[in-house]
Amino acid sequence: MEYHLHQPPQPPLDFRRWLVKNVKLSQLITILLIMLILVPLVTHYYLSKVDGISSNGAFAPSRDALGRHTMKVSDLRLHVDELYRIKSSVTAELVDLERQRSEKQSQITLYSNKLEGIHQDISVTEIELKKIKLQIMQLQKEKEEILERRENQIAPPKRILPSLEDNVILTAPQDKLQCRQHNCFDYSRCSLTSKFPVYFYQPSETFQSSINLNRVVLSTISELFSANPYTTTDPSIACIYIVLLGPTTTALNSKSDIESKLHSLPYWMGDGRNHVLLNLVNSVLQDNCLESINTGRAIIVQSGFRVSEFRHGFDILVPLLLGPKYHFSWTAIPPLVPAKRRYLATFQGELVASGGKHSTFHHMQSGKLKADLRGRETADQYINEELQRLQTITEDSFFIELFCGTSVITQGSMGAPEWALCGTEIDRSKFLRESTFSLVFSPDEVLVSSSLFYTRLYESLRYGAVPVIVGEHTQLPFYETLDWRKAVLFLPKPRITELYFYLQTVGHGDILNMRKQGRFIYETYFSSTKNIVDSILATIRTRLNIPSVVIRDEPSPSVFSDEFVPLKVDMQLQTLEFEDGGGGPVESPYSSPGFLRNYTFNTVNRHATWNELPGPFYMFPNTPFDPILPSEAKFRGSGVGFRPIGDGAGGAGKEFMESLGGNVPKEQFTIVMLTYEREEVLINSIQRLNGLPHLNKVLIVWNSPEPPSQDLGWPEIHVDVKVIQTKKNSLNNRFLPYDEIVTEAILSIDDDAHLRHDEILFGFRVWREARDRIVGFPGRFHAWDTNINNGWLYNSNYSCELSMVLTGAAFFHKYYAYLYTYWMPQEIRDMVDEYINCEDLAMNFLVSHITRQPPIKVTSRWTFRCPGCPQALSSDDSHFQERHQCMNFFTKVFGYMPLLYTQFRVDSVLFKTRLPHDKQKCFKFI
Asked about 752 being catalytic, the answer comes back as: no
3-state SS, residue 171:
coil
Question: Which is it for the CA torsion 26, 30, 31, 35, positive or negative?
Answer: positive
Helix or strand holding residue 317 (H, E): strand 316-317
CA distances from 377 to 369, 416, 499, 868 (A): 12, 15, 21, 85
What amino acid occupies position 30? T
The angle, 0 to 180 degrees and rounded to 10, between the axes of the packed helices 826-835 and 877-894 is 170
φ, ψ of residue 921 in degrees (nearest 5): -60, -40
φ, ψ of residue 863 in degrees (nearest 5): -145, 155
Active site residue: 166, 751, 840, 877, which one?
Answer: 840
3-state SS, residue 300:
strand
* Burial classification of residue 780, based on how many CB atoms lie within 10 Å of its CB (0-12 exposed, 13-18 middle, 19 or more buried): buried
> Checking DSSP bridges between strand 408-409 and strand 418-422, what pairing results, if any?
antiparallel
3-state SS, residue 214:
coil
Long-range contacts of 311-315 (CB under 8 A, 24+ apart): 311/176, 311/177, 311/178, 311/179, 311/180, 312/475, 313/180, 313/181, 313/480, 314/179, 314/180, 314/181, 314/184
3-state SS, residue 71:
coil
Cα distance between residue 207 and residue 201, in whole Å:
10
Neighbours of 880 (CB within 10 A): 16
Peptide bond into 319 cis (omega under 30): no
Residues belonging to the chain: 926
> Is the backbone of residue 375 left (phi > 0), alpha (psi -120 to 50) or beta?
left
As beta bridge partners, residue 822 has: none
φ, ψ of residue 920 in degrees (nearest 5): -75, -10
The angle, 0 to 180 degrees and rounded to 10, between the axes of the packed helices 425-432 and 451-462 is 50
Q: Work out the end-to-end distance of the chain between its first and last CA atoms, rounded to an integer number of angstroms.
A: 135
Q: Are 736 and 672 in contact (CB under 8 A)?
A: no
- Write the DSSP string, 807-872: TTEEEEEHHHHHIIIIIS-HHHHHHHHHHT--HHHHHHHHHHHHH----EEES--S--B-TTSPPP
3-state SS, residue 504:
helix
Query: Which residues, including other chains, have CB under 8 Å from residue 823's CB and lie 6 or more apart?
Result: 620, 622, 623, 624
Neighbours of 356 (CB within 10 A): 17
Cα distance between residue 220 and residue 240, in whole Å:
20
Cα distance between residue 761 and residue 695, in whole Å:
9
Question: Of the candidates 742, 739, 813, 773, which has an alpha carbon nearest to the alpha carbon of residue 592?
Answer: 742
**Any idea what DSSP says for residue 312?**
T
Question: Of the candidates 635, 753, 639, 628, which has an alpha carbon nearest to the alpha carbon of residue 697?
Answer: 639
Instruction: Let me know how many helices (H) and strands (E) the chain has, helices first.
Output: 21, 29
Question: Of the candidates 152, 138, 455, which has an alpha carbon nearest to the alpha carbon of residue 285?
Answer: 455
Give the catalytic positions in this structure.
840
